[in-house]
Amino acid sequence: MRKKLSRAGNSACLILDKPLLDLLGLTAMSFVELSTDGRSLTIKPAGVVSTRSVMKRPQPPSKKRRERPHPSLTLRAWARSQLRS
């Protein structure tokens, strides 16, 4: 099979047709292993990798939220203090 490389920014990409992806059991989000002997390029399906662990972005540390009483409770406390005065 003969394919032409396509330009993607400053890189080149190789478009694989759906029948070829199906034959190898790959999807658009699959990981592959690339190897070369200096003259040819070999593409093999990679071992099972969880895309969730690879694609997961680190979350910034959460700020502890200050707990506040419900507004109606605050109003009750204020009303009681006014009655006592």
Q: For residue 40, is it within any domain?
A: yes
Instruction: Convert the pLDDT of each residue in 26-44 to its tens digit.
Output: 888 888 888 889 889 888 8
Look at residue 59 in the predicted model and tell me its pLDDT. Answer: 67
Cα–Cα distance for residue pair 71/43, rounded to 1 Å: 62
Instruction: Convert the pLDDT of each residue in 45-67 to its tens digit.
Output: 887 655 555 556 666 666 666 66
Q: For residue 78, is it within any domain?
A: no
What is the pLDDT confidence band of residue 4, given thresholds at 50, 70 and 90?
very high
Q: What pTM was estimated for this model as a whole?
A: 0.47
CATH number at residue 12: 2.10.260.10
Which domain does 7 fall in, by range? Answer: 1-49
Domains held by the chain: number: 1
Cα–Cα distance for residue pair 72/78, rounded to 1 Å: 10
* Residue bearing the bigger pLDDT, 53 or 6: 6
